[in-house]
A and B are shown apart, each in its own frame.
Chain A
Amino acid sequence: MRIGVTVFPGSNCDRDALHAIERAGAEPVELWHADADLKGVDAVVVPGGFSYGDYLRPGAIARFAKVMAPLEEFANSGGPVLGVCNGFQVLTEAHLLSGALLRNSNMRFICDRVAVRVENVDTPWTSLFEPGHELTLPVAHNEGNYFADERTLAQLDDEGRVVLRYLENPNGSANDIAGICNEGRNVVGLMPHPERASDPLLGSGEGLKVFESVLQYVGTRA
């Protein structure tokens, strides 16, 4: 089982993601932004950071990196893709996930640990959690304020596509949304960082389950 991690100029959670994937028991594979293919991986993580310096808008430039074309194809054909933080922003910019991430309502960069609830366990990235499970994950973002129009928000709720919700909203996100998935449920975007909570040495290993979930998912499909 091989899980890829895209690396853009300015990505800074790629190593953490690679480490988490290895701990979960898969082979981590770096996918350079200028690569034209996904090296045959079974799942892809778009990591956090400040790709291309967050110039223009977070994720706006990364979205057109060379590696994004095969990634979009992979996502559209049902391949499991996880975007974390800046990765979530990249996936909304690429229209693989709906909505957008705006500046935090308090105008501050938020670096904290927040309590979240798993709302949807029917995705490749959350399948090992119990529905409604509450856990604490690190957040570190300036643009984490999830926005979508009323119709889209209603659709996300009706279709059970909110994956994670904050117990206490840190950034002004609509409906306390911390993570969502696409219609096919194979593409997930999260503002909190499971990879930074994937080793007890880092304070918590709870986030590892996200990577173990995708391992099991791909394993049972193979």
Chain B
Amino acid sequence: MKVRVLVRPKSGILDPQGEAVRRALPALGFEGVKTVHIGRLVEMEVESPEEVEGMCRRLLANPTVEEYEWEVVR
């Protein structure tokens, strides 16, 4: 079963990577970009999707600074 996990900085956590990209976009002529947040996409093939929550909490995300969501992909 294919699972897609999205991990990103919690809101309010400094995201210098997103900020650097936000500042770079106008240099290419893309004006009007107000915010950029950069996260991580993890795609997995798993046998037991009920284990995904634990994988997120214990390894794929650091709950101190990141939030995550996941879905089964068809």
Residues of A near any B CB (own CB < 8 A): 56-57, 60, 64, 92-93, 99-100, 102-107, 145, 147-149, 172
B13, B17, B62 pick with most chain A CB within 10 angstroms: B62
A196 and B7 alpha carbons, distance in the complex (Å): 35
Q: Mark B53-68, 1 if CB is under 8 A from A, else 0.
A: 0000001101011000
Contact partner, B62, options A93, A105, A172, Cβ 8 Å: A93
Residues of A within 8 A of B19 (CB): 107
Residues of B within 8 A of A100 (CB): 62, 64-65
Contact partner, A147, options B13, B17, B20, B59, Cβ 8 Å: B13
B16 at the interface (CB under 8 A from A): yes
Contacts known (A100-B65, A107-B20); A56 close to B59, Cβ less than 8 A: yes
A103 and B21 alpha carbons, distance in the complex (Å): 14
Question: Residue of A at shortest CB range from B64?
Answer: A100
Contacts known (A56-B60, A147-B65); A105 close to B20, Cβ less than 8 A: no
A131 and B19 alpha carbons, distance in the complex (Å): 38
B41 at the interface (CB under 8 A from A): no
Q: Is the CB of A60 within 8 A of B62?
A: yes
Q: Is the CB of B65 within 8 A of A105?
A: no
Identify whether the interface residues of A are mostly helix, strand, loop, or mixed: loop
Q: Is the CB of A103 within 8 A of B16?
A: yes
Contact partner, B16, options A56, A57, A99, A106, Cβ 8 Å: A106
Residues of A within 8 A of B17 (CB): 103, 107
A64 and B62 alpha carbons, distance in the complex (Å): 14
Chain A nearest CB from B54 CB (Å) reads 13
B73 at the interface (CB under 8 A from A): no
A57 and B14 alpha carbons, distance in the complex (Å): 16
B13, B17, B64 pick with most chain A CB within 10 angstroms: B64
Q: Is the CB of A99 within 8 A of B64?
A: yes
Question: Residue of B at shortest CB range from A174?
Answer: B14
Question: Residue of B at shortest CB range from A98?
Answer: B64
Contacts known (A100-B64, A100-B65, A147-B65); A105 close to B59, Cβ less than 8 A: no
Q: Mark B30-71, 1 if CB is under 8 A from A, else 0.
A: 000000000000000000000000000001101011000000
Q: Is the CB of A104 within 8 A of B13?
A: no
Q: Is the CB of B14 within 8 A of A145?
A: yes
Question: Residue of B at shortest CB range from A64?
Answer: B59
Residues of A within 8 A of B20 (CB): 107
Residues of A within 8 A of B59 (CB): 56, 60, 64
Could you name 21 residue pairs across A and B whose Cβ atoms are closer than 8 Å?
A56-B59, A60-B62, A64-B59, A92-B64, A93-B62, A100-B62, A100-B64, A100-B65, A102-B65, A103-B16, A103-B17, A104-B16, A105-B14, A107-B16, A107-B17, A107-B20, A145-B14, A147-B13, A147-B14, A149-B64, A172-B16
